[in-house]
Amino acid sequence: MKAKLTFLGTGTSQGVPIIGCDCPVCRSSDPRDKRLRASALVEYGGLTILVDAGPDFRYQLLRAGVSHLDAILLTHNHKDHTGGLDDTRSFNLIEGHPLNIFCEQYVLETLQREYAYVFAEPKYQGVPEWHMHVIDASKPFEVRSNTQDERLQWQHGVGYLHLPPLNPLPDKVSVIPVQGWHHKEKKQSVLGYRFGNIAYLTDINLMDDCEIEKLRGVDYVTLGCVKITPHHAHPSLEECLRFFEKVGARESYITHISHLIPPHADFAAMLPPHVHPAYDGLILE
């Protein structure tokens, strides 16, 4: 099954341009050098799935005209990947369903601390309504249409009433988690995801060969690279290119790019023919 992926954001944790910076990249007039925090929208098997919801979540979805989400898959717990989750309450109100969020157990524990009001009982009226799903990184998992979830009906002065679903759609897809590590000492797990012929990975600095095997046969693969030289938590450009060669995808894309990477056109000219810098709004299908 083929997927369609739209890069909603391709920047690193501070985005590009960085506040207060006047370097050539931050001053670039090329729209491909204007980068929101890393996130991707995937259309797969009739479902609409978001990977990561950072601080630019609201603007990214408005800019892309997204009016429906079935699920959000989180790669890890850093704020540039989770900081926009409060804005999911718009989907609760407009679509009338909870939002399914998939993540590892340690990420859930972070959300329970950082969004404690979402998990508190009794609920404050209007807080985001989430159905949390913990991922076992060793196994594929199923994402279903959110029409199969309970319905939310807003009642003034009470909050949401939770009602049974009506005529749920049978749509569901299988997603393969691909585990890597943010640091070479394996300090923090980060998940990438394979959707059929497309694999999306960001903040992965180390990956075991058994996980790379999960990527065999993809048409497109992505990986984050914040600068050309080594970084304590992200691959250098050389390491990124070695990873792409191991995977052997038809085309490979670099995302999670900082202002330490040359401007888009110059960076593209440095890369092998089958490797490309991603940019906000780029679509793979």
Which stretch of DSSP H or E encloses residue 144?
strand 141-144
The yes-or-no verdict on residue 195 having pLDDT over 90 is yes
Instruction: With beta carbons less than 8 A apart as the criterion, state whether 151 and 163 touch.
Output: yes
Question: If pLDDT is split at 50, 70 and 90, which confidence band does 165 have?
Answer: confident
Tell me whether the omega of the peptide bond preceding residue 17 falls within 30 degrees of 0, making it cis.
Answer: yes
Other C-beta atoms closer than 10 Å to the C-beta of 63 total: 14
Question: If pLDDT is split at 50, 70 and 90, which confidence band does 248 have?
Answer: very high
Look up tokens 């050539």; give the residue: 24
Instruction: With beta carbons less than 8 A apart as the criterion, state whether 41 and 278 touch.
Output: no
User: Residue length, the chain?
Assistant: 285
Report the chain's mean pLDDT, rounded to a whole number. 95
Question: If pLDDT is split at 50, 70 and 90, which confidence band does 168 have?
Answer: low
Question: If pLDDT is split at 50, 70 and 90, which confidence band does 4 have?
Answer: very high
